[in-house]
Structure 1
Amino acid sequence: MSVLISAFVLGVACGLRAMIGLAAVSWAAGSQLLPLQGTWLSFLGNRVTPYITSLLAIGEMINDKLPKTASRLVPPQFGARIVMGAFIGTAIGLSHGHLAMGILCGVVGSVVGTLAGARARAFAAKLFGRDLPAALLEDVIAIALAFVAIVTLR
């Protein structure tokens, strides 16, 4: 059951920041917390993959703060979050023998994270009087969720 909760929570993190879940799964696979050896996703545990996915996640966090960045609710951005949620759900499910449920939990989590994240960020931006503090708070929450989800896989 904790595997499915982890897939859901990582999906929520992907809804907040699409690449954070991929970076977390890659670090977990590289450190043997997520056993993907012998699967088609074993490349996530390669020596350089966690660094590459982390750079992509950092790049997304920077891009998120730019004024011309589109809303996460427009179809391409929403779709990317769902695809990332499905991908991380696949990795978690595949590693623990619950492929279909892992995918489902990752997708549902990413939809929840995308919709709730957009509303929460708008609310926080209103409270702060500007968007940047809300966006930075969202970054911290996404990282914390990803960390907690990976740690509970032990």
Structure 2
Amino acid sequence: MTHVLVLLLALLIGVVAGLRAFTAPAAVAWAGMLGWLVLDGTWAQWVAHPITVTVLTILLVGELVTDQLPKTPSRKTAMQFGARLVTGGFSGAVIGTAFGYTIGGLGAGVIGAVLGTLGGYEVRKRLVARNGGRDLPIALLEDGIAVVGGFVIVWLATVI
């Protein structure tokens, strides 16, 4: 796979992290465990361990639930934004590592997280406004896009 495609996948997984912080690391963990990303012998091989996959999956499900709560802070607050930058960069680095581009993947993942955080916020805000102020259907749509998108992105690493 060319470095441009690897960086594109890392950027896209960062966008997913911008939408839902724990979806991107859960997706790369599952991809590692399923052999979609070959991480053996790298710094990231621990990501594919069943315990890591389980913990990240629990965090993902927890995030999907807490996102629906009215007191959940905006993704643009410092703590929420920072978490997305970290998980986007990490997930991008894992994808990059599978193809020998760890640092490039890290950078692309962080950039994608910025795009996903800010872009996702704006799109959700506009869709909620068009939907008569009903947030739940839009939040659930965003959840689905993040989860399905995350797994499609890591699966694409096996076919591109």
Same fold (TM over 0.5): yes
Structure 2 equivalent of residue 113 of structure 1: 116
Distance 1:147 1:45 in 2: 14
In the alignment, structure 2 segments of 5+ residues that lack a partner are none
Distance 2:104 2:43 in 1: 18
Distance 1:82 1:46 in 2: 23
Q: Select 1:88's aligned residue among 87, 91, 104.
A: 91
Would you say the 8 A contact 1:93–1:102 is kept in 2? yes
Structure 2 equivalent of residue 36 of structure 1: 39
SS in 2 for 1:34: coil
Amino acid at match of 1:15: G
Cα distance, 1:19 vs. partner? 0.3
Amino acid at match of 1:139: D
Amino acid at match of 1:34: L
Distance 2:50 2:62 in 1: 20
Structure 1 equivalent of residue 146 of structure 2: 142
1:77-119 C-alpha deviation (Å, 9 max, x unpaired): 0010000111011111112111121011100100000000000
Distance 1:127 1:51 in 2: 37
Cα distance, 1:47 vs. partner? 2.1
1:50-61 equivalences under 5 Å are: 50-61=53-64
Distance 1:120 1:144 in 2: 18
When the two chains are superposed, the root-mean-square deviation of aligned CA atoms in Å is 1.0
Question: Which one is further off, 54-63 or 32-41?
Answer: 32-41
Distance 1:125 1:91 in 2: 34
SS in 2 for 1:48: helix
SS in 2 for 1:153: helix
Amino acid at match of 1:8: L
Identity %: 43
Amino acid at match of 1:88: S
Cα distance, 1:46 vs. partner? 0.9
Distance 2:149 2:108 in 1: 15
1:43-78 C-alpha deviation (Å, 9 max, x unpaired): 111123222211110100111110111000011100
Distance 1:99 1:22 in 2: 15
Structure 2 equivalent of residue 153 of structure 1: 157
Structure 2 equivalent of residue 6 of structure 1: 9
Cα distance, 1:2 vs. partner? 2.0
